[in-house]
Amino acid sequence: MSRNAKVALGGVVVAILLMWLLPIPFWATLLIIVGVPVGAYLLLDPSQRRRLRRVNRKELGR
């Protein structure tokens, strides 16, 4: 299993636990799950974003 697949699986598990344990609505859980990675990406410098995109393309075999 690749590293990205492990991270995705961990995110799904965390999402299920959040929805089950915390009495918060579904939309709030979804906002947390999507908002945290998007916020982390937006905090990167432009050079770091370019590097991240370049690494992702190399992994895809482009």
Q: Nearest-CA neighbor of 15 among 28, 4, 2?
A: 28
Q: Would you state the pLDDT for residue 8?
A: 82
The Cα–Cα gap between 46 and 33 comes to: 23
Burial class (CB in 10 A: 0-12, 13-18, 19+), 46: exposed
CA 46 to chain centre: 19
The alpha helices in 1-62, defined as continuous H runs, are: 3-21, 26-42, 46-59
Question: Per residue of the chain (62 residues), what is the pLDDT tens digit?
Answer: 788 788 888 888 887 887 788 787 878 878 887 888 899 999 999 999 888 888 876 666 55
Type of residue at 31? L
Q: Would you state the pLDDT for residue 58?
A: 67
Question: How many domains, the chain?
Answer: 1
Q: List the domain range (segments joined by +) for residue 39.
A: 3-59
- The pTM of this model reads 0.54
